[in-house]
Structure 1
Amino acid sequence: MDLFDDLPEPTQTAGEASVQKTCPSALEDRGAKRKRDAPDDEVVEEQKLEEKKVCKGVPILKGYVAARRGEREEMQDAHILLSDMKTCLSTLPTTVSRLAYFAVFDGHGGARASRFAAEHLHHTLAMKFPKETENLDKLVKKCLLDTFRQTDEDFLKKASSQKPAWKDGSTATCMLVVDDMVYVANLGDSRAVLCRMEQEMQGGDRKCVTLALSKEHNPTIYEERMRIQRAGGTVRDGRVLGVLEVSRSIGDGQYKRIGVISTPDLRRCQLTPNDRFIILGCDGLFKVFSAEDAVKYVLNVLQNGSVERKEGQTEEEGHYEAACQRLANEAVRRGCADNVTVILVSVSF
């Protein structure tokens, strides 16, 4: 049994089944002076490593965010976009070319848990990130599980030291990208979805396939309800003790003794040239949009009409920015009374 819930492989079509992995000849001349002074075997190993990095076909990711308070008195969502997370690490495994991190946190009972997670979770993740690449998948899984546990413990310690004690909690949907591999760790009812373009038939039009990158946690799910009941809790009206809407979270100290946990579900997906974008959103978005409708809405903005661009933006960046902002606006227009946060991550090779 695999460590992760892997997503299906893309349909392979002629000419686009794999990333082109040609290496520039300029690589041979890089650092020529340093190589002349180094032993031959070191030069060969260094060149092989550089070639491996360049040839990986690492996708380019750009993140855009839109946040709306909606009809709530307070904005309890938080988010973070790190297109280059390498700056947070003291050392990075030599075979890893790129590290990126995007996350959305939907707070309840206050904004302190979501803000704490947005400010601290990625730093804990950076400290725990594997220093070696052997069994990288297994190590990344352990790193994410340990990071969520540590973040929850750190917040609960701080919350319990306050007078009166904080009772805030938060969902967490975090996307860590290691080269071309996406790892999504999720707690609660925020979600992540991927838009992948695939051909219907030989020579036919490309269609959009929406892939779920996360699994929701609420107490109406059988496994979640059973865990809560075994711990001495109850589920009423679809909520823990008739109050809490999610069955896993960061914070919520008063519910941790009755089966609400901070262990995320993990999913892994390798990005391909067929992938267009990823949406991370809180439940404020997905209360009024299905995953498929949200993806189609974004595609429509990307493919149709002109948009206003910010200074320095390319036309493509302007379309993604507009799609992100309009998606959040449309969620509010459709009557979502909750906070709405949308992160849109474009994918290109």
Structure 2
Amino acid sequence: MVAEAEVMHQSPVPVLEVQYHRRATTKGVDDVVGMSAPAPAEVGVGVGVEVEVEVEVAVEVPRMGLEQPDVAPSLSTDMIQQFVPNIRSGSFADIGPRRYMEDEHIRIDDLSAHLGSMLVCPLPSAFYGVFDGHGGPDAAAYMKRHAMRFLFEESEFPQASQVDEVYLESVESCVRRAFLQADLALADDLDISRSSGTTALTALVFGRQLVVANTGDCRAVLCRKGVAMEMSRDHRANHVEERERVAASGGYIEDGYLNGVLSVTRALGDWDMKAPGASASAALIAEPEFRRATLGEDDEFLVMGCDGIWDVMTSQHAVSLVRRGLRQHDDPARCARELVMEAKRLETADNLTVVVVCFAPEMGSPFTPQQQQEEELPARPRSCKKGLSTEALCSLRSWLDTDHR
């Protein structure tokens, strides 16, 4: 019997949340390296010197925290081989300024336990999905209900206990078939409006391998030592390759919209645009694109969000905000909520859904008050008091002993 997937839908609309977690928690403390200025040097002088002089020197102290390096850090082979993800996640969803909630999402931190004997796969294993509906909530809600069936029950998902290239290629083929089968199923279901569609973003973790599949403009971003590494590409009309593909298929872009109607160039559903005889039956496709990553110790977490997040902030902004939150309270669900609240503060115009997946048992010690201040405020000069050299003090004493009256 298959356990229910944990599906969170936190918003003013009814919530469906079935808690199911089985975590293997490893206790440990990450080394935290602090930066501090050395103590002021105290310079002694000989007996008889009665004048003490202090000079304030302005020293520019760089801002500590989450600045993006010029070059993304690389992972050593030894580091990757030793690393085993310890997976935990949190999510939050909000209706935003819209009248209706059309987003759905799924998160399963232990896929092997969830599916039981149905799936033999490398461990640890996890599955996450974000579905951003349009033209009504029908298509996204359908994907939330049936994604597990399309992916793992009806697509001959590969069985293996170890990860290799053949296994990963088989996983991608299986996910691709699942997306396309789901697209066809939306056309056949008479309860689904033919004008309803949804984007689909999924992430699978098997051992140290992360496989992301995307159709539409939701986005997955990996935090690698504080640097935002995009794990998906937005399928919108402003992307050159998508525009060329649409034009080659006979479709067109008008005012940034596919056929003047849809803001995305790939989606599941929307069969009023895909039906035979439509002006651009092949312009809108359900074909997913894939990106992979081999996780190492520098890979801290993955952020998955709908376009309501990315419309108002960059990938790096989101990663920096989540990273700071994890270092403060180490709660991925709270980080997801904080990211949603930041998008609302920036006046997003859409529904909002965020999933945060951590790959380590803890992010480290919380910031000290001083580190927190440096994290939030711009760099500013800091005063450091240094004594004059013995030679300088002797010269000063000689000058003072001279009669200048």
Fold in common (TM above 0.5) = yes
The structure-2 alpha-carbon separation of the partners of 1:13 and 1:234, relative to structure 1 and needing over 3 Å to count, comes to closer
The structure-2 alpha-carbon separation of the partners of 1:89 and 1:147, relative to structure 1 and needing over 3 Å to count, comes to farther
Aligned to 2:185: 154
Q: Aligned runs of 1:253-292 on 2, under 5 Å?
A: 253-256=271-274, 257-292=281-316
Q: Is the 8 A contact 1:72 1:337 kept in 2?
A: yes
**Offset at 1:303?**
2.6
Q: How far does the alpha carbon of each residue in 1:85-117 deviate from its partner, in whole angstroms, 9 at most, with x for none?
A: 223364334x62232101111111111111111
Is 1:321 aligned to residue 333 of structure 2? yes
Tell me the secondary structure at the aligned position of residue 156 of structure 1.
Answer: helix
Aligned to 1:212: 230
The structure-2 alpha-carbon separation of the partners of 1:230 and 1:348, relative to structure 1 and needing over 3 Å to count, comes to same
Is 1:300 aligned to residue 324 of structure 2? yes
Inter-partner Cα distance in structure 1 for 2:341 and 2:72: 33
Tell me the secondary structure at the aligned position of residue 87 of structure 2.
Answer: strand
Correspondent of 1:188 among 216, 220, 232 = 216
Q: Is the 8 A contact 2:194 2:272 kept in 1?
A: no
Aligned to 1:311: none
Correspondent of 1:140 among 167, 171, 191 = 171
Could you say which structure has the larger radius of gyration?
Answer: 2
Q: Is the 8 A contact 1:62 1:83 kept in 2?
A: yes
Inter-partner Cα distance in structure 2 for 1:162 and 1:115: 12
Tell me the secondary structure at the aligned position of residue 254 of structure 1.
Answer: helix
Inter-partner Cα distance in structure 2 for 1:152 and 1:218: 19
Tell me the secondary structure at the aligned position of residue 304 of structure 2.
Answer: strand
Correspondent of 1:68 among 94, 106, 116 = 94
**Offset at 1:19?**
4.7
Tell me the secondary structure at the aligned position of residue 169 of structure 2.
Answer: helix
Q: Which amino acid aligns with 2:123?
A: S
Inter-partner Cα distance in structure 2 for 1:336 and 1:244: 18
Q: Is the 8 A contact 2:102 2:137 kept in 1?
A: yes
Tell me the secondary structure at the aligned position of residue 88 of structure 1.
Answer: helix
Q: Aligned runs of 1:1-349 on 2, under 5 Å?
A: 11-12=74-75, 17-20=79-82, 57-86=83-112, 87-88=114-115, 90-93=117-120, 96-127=122-153, 128=155, 129-132=157-160, 135-158=166-189, 161-162=190-191, 165-197=193-225, 208-256=226-274, 257-304=281-328, 316=330, 319-348=331-360
Q: Which amino acid aligns with 2:231?
A: L
Inter-partner Cα distance in structure 1 for 2:244 and 2:233: 17
Report percent identity of matched pairs: 33
Tell me the secondary structure at the aligned position of residue 348 of structure 1.
Answer: coil
**Offset at 1:12?**
4.3
Q: Is the 8 A contact 2:92 2:353 kept in 1?
A: yes
Q: How far does the alpha carbon of each residue in 1:18-42 deviate from its partner, in whole angstroms, 9 at most, with x for none?
A: 454xxxxxxxxxxxxxxxxxxxxxx
**Higher helix proportion (structure 1 or 2):** 1
Inter-partner Cα distance in structure 1 for 2:208 and 2:103: 28
The aligned length equals 279
Where in structure 2 are there 5+ consecutive unaligned residues?
1-70, 275-280, 362-405
**Offset at 1:64?**
0.6
Q: Is the 8 A contact 1:190 1:216 kept in 2?
A: yes
**Offset at 1:298?**
1.1
Inter-partner Cα distance in structure 2 for 1:91 and 1:103: 20
Inter-partner Cα distance in structure 1 for 2:246 and 2:80: 45
Tell me the secondary structure at the aligned position of residue 344 of structure 1.
Answer: strand
Tell me the secondary structure at the aligned position of residue 60 of structure 1.
Answer: coil
Inter-partner Cα distance in structure 2 for 1:131 and 1:323: 34
Tell me the secondary structure at the aligned position of residue 192 of structure 1.
Answer: strand
Inter-partner Cα distance in structure 2 for 1:96 and 1:348: 18
**Offset at 1:11?**
2.4
Inter-partner Cα distance in structure 1 for 2:117 and 2:180: 22
Q: Which amino acid aligns with 2:79?
A: A
**Offset at 1:265?**
0.5
Inter-partner Cα distance in structure 1 for 2:184 and 2:194: 14
Q: Is the 8 A contact 1:88 1:123 kept in 2?
A: no
Q: How far does the alpha carbon of each residue in 1:162-204 deviate from its partner, in whole angstroms, 9 at most, with x for none?
A: 49x431111111001111100000011110001111xxxxxxx
Q: How far does the alpha carbon of each residue in 1:303-327 deviate from its partner, in whole angstroms, 9 at most, with x for none?
A: 34xx5xxxxxxxx3xx323222111
Q: Is the 8 A contact 2:204 2:211 kept in 1?
A: yes
Tell me the secondary structure at the aligned position of residue 358 of structure 2.
Answer: strand
Tell me the secondary structure at the aligned position of residue 183 of structure 2.
Answer: helix
Q: Which amino acid aligns with 1:11?
A: S
Inter-partner Cα distance in structure 1 for 2:261 and 2:127: 32
Inter-partner Cα distance in structure 2 for 1:220 and 1:296: 26
